Structure 1
Amino acid sequence: MFYKFLDFNGRLTEGIKYDIRLNRLYWVDIIAVEIHFVHLLDYSPIRDYSEAECFRIQSTHRVYSLQDVTDSIGFIGLTTDPGTLIVAISQGYGLYNLSSETFTLKANYPQHDPTMRSNDGMIDVNGNIWIGTMSDFRQQTVEPKGKLYMIDGSGITAKIENASISNGLRWNNGKLYWIDSLTFKLWCFDCKDSKTLSNRRPFIDFKTILPEVDSPEPDGFTIAENGDFFVSVYNSQKVLRFDRRGQLTDAYSFPAKRITCCCIGGINMDELFVTSANLNIKSPQKFKSNCDDQGGALFRVKLDIKGNAENYYSLSTTDALLVHEF
């Protein structure tokens, strides 16, 4: 059973992350160019939140705008300093200090195509940053020019090219799982030392799983402690749950067609938090006035299993100069 968590009339909410150190939930609104966070409760109710509990959470809601820096945010990642985030902007990535509300560019993507933008990303167990790209919002069609970049101490390397929409990615048992949304597949790679990819093969085909949906586009996903996959499927109203073999075991439906991303968090690491997008992304206020779709809200599901903590990017001595006391 789902519970509405927060409804702040978001446009394209995505990239949700839980910071276990602060009991804090982060997400982005890609088009609004905003970073959001709330502090969660110090307990994990099975029931829906009461009005008082919702007010407590809502009162901690903070919003950080980067409209003066970029025209979109694709990904945020946690660092070894709780007051600093990795942020992927349109053409590259940098560090955002929450205390000073300042962004410092680290690097642009090599030979960056200005028609492309950052999309989803992740930090691996060794602290390397992975960020995917896709056609930006000004393009009439999605071109298969997307890339998946890996960023480590030696620089920025394109590990995958010619993607349609490079989306969610996670590692598990020596394998990288990665979504290219318009192939309608979750792909699996053998991943040596978390850097070298080989033996690409399809793991889950969402056209087969959801034949009734015109365009069942897998989006962001997470992997639980027991190896279960929770995959957000855009255009479907659903997060689908699969076992470690890729067999469908459950489906969670929400009152929003465009489900975008999910993560597991909460004080007991047993709550699934889900983001969604507005059906009328360009004019969400107009959409809200005449439709029951709750796209733009966040939802939560109480689970019977636990999730894994996020990996951190390790700040260098130079990076640390950007960090103020938090």
Structure 2
Amino acid sequence: MYDPTDVLPVQMELGECPLWDHRTNRLYWVDIIRCTLFELDWLSSAIRTWPLPALGGGLALLGSDEILTATQTGLFRFSPATGRYQYLLHPETGMPTNRLNEGKTDPAGNFWIGSMSTLGRRPEGSLYRVSPGGEISRQLSGVHVPNALVFLPGHEVIFTDSHLKVIWRYHLDPHTGELTGREVFADDTAAESIPDGAVADSDGNIWNAKFGGARIAVYDLDGRRLHELALPATQVTSCAFCGPDLDYLAVTTAKRLLGDEQRRSQTEAGNLFIFRPGARGLQEPVSLI
């Protein structure tokens, strides 16, 4: 059991996508439903917000201290210095009822982004790899809700379709991006919660948010559950290591799918929690697209 070192009372409807920028000592995250991008300056504790171009669903680091934002209308380059967005590309042109969700950069600088339907949990989403030259390749299809995308040592990756409640491990071909050899990493089908966003620490352990479960579950590389971090909000969405030494953990939460009584009783739902969990994270790669 850990107590948070800080709680940011930002009261998000659907907080997601925490991202630590080691170049500027700033933490970024989004409220997907309210189309808002947040920034926390670690040294001053100042918070800034900007409107997103559309429903958000993924963040990554870009060169020149800029941020890659994935939204329902495509990928954008965002400059925190100017507050301006520049459209880059869209992996799913012609599919306006889908939105982008769960983006991460792999060690080679490729940006990976999932997609999902906004009309319900339909198997109409995909997982794409965008290369540094802007080439788009679909690596998985038939996805309901893409989540828990983490790149592991030895050319492996974990990924979940939250609707199916199973986290899988794949072998990743670093040259083509092809995902093969799927096997179960963790099975949540018997749980009331669903696996959401995830991050790896420097020891190779995986920290996975359990939406509806009020916790972060920690697994070793073999998928064995080691321990948990409890929160006072059930809708736990994602997490990221942060701080200059990457020894803090930022956890996003939501009010999404809470009834009226749950919203009244869970007064801290939708806040951002920061813990010092006794583990260190890994520096996020910079996307080269």
1:297: which partner in 2? 271
Partner in structure 1 of residue 48 of structure 2: 62
Gaps of 5+ in 2: none
Matched, 1:2 2:3: yes
Give, in whole Å, the separation in 1 of the partners of 2:230 and 2:73: 34
**What is aligned with 1:134?**
116
Q: Which has the larger radius of gyration?
A: 1
8 Å contact 2:14–2:256 — kept in the other structure?
A: no
CA shift in 2, pair 1:288/1:267, >3 Å: farther
Give aligned-pair identity as a percent: 25
Within a 5 Å distance, the mapping from 1:1-326 to structure 2 comes to 1-3=2-4, 4-41=6-43, 56-57=44-45, 60-66=46-52, 69-70=53-54, 72-82=55-65, 84-136=66-118, 139=119, 141-152=120-131, 153=133, 155-173=135-153, 174-193=155-174, 195-208=177-190, 211=191, 213=192, 216-279=193-256, 290-314=264-288
TM-score, normalising length from structure 1? 0.82
Distance 1:221 1:289, change over 3 A: closer
Q: C-alpha offsets along residues 220-264 of structure 1, whole Å, 9 cap, x if unaligned?
A: 000011100100010100100111111011011101010000011
The answer to whether the 8 Å contact 1:121/1:132 transfers is yes
CA distance in 1, matches of 2:233, 2:121: 23
- Tell me the secondary structure at the aligned position of residue 182 of structure 1: helix
Taking only aligned residues, the RMSD between alpha carbons, in angstroms, comes to 1.9
CA offsets 1:170-224 (integer angstroms, 9 cap, x no match): 111210111110110111110121612111121110134xx3x2xx211100001
Task: Give me the whole-angstrom Cα distance separating, in 1, the residues matched to 2:96 and 2:263.
Answer: 35
How far apart, in 2, do the equivalents of 1:287 and 1:155 lie? 47
- Mean Cα displacement is larger for which, 191-200 or 266-275? 191-200
Query: In proportion to residue count, which structure has more helix?
Result: 1
1:145 & 1:249 partners in 2: Cα distance?
A: 34
CA distance in 2, matches of 1:40, 1:13: 19
Which structure 1 residue ranges, 5 or more long, are not aligned? 42-55, 316-326
CA distance in 2: counterparts of 1:34 and 1:228, whole angstroms: 30
Q: Give the C-alpha shift of residue 154 in structure 1.
A: 5.2
Following superposition, the deviation at residue 288 of structure 1 comes to 9.0
Opposite residue 51 of structure 2, the aligned amino acid is: S
Deviation at 1:121, TM superposition (A): 0.6
Letter in 1 for 2:240: C
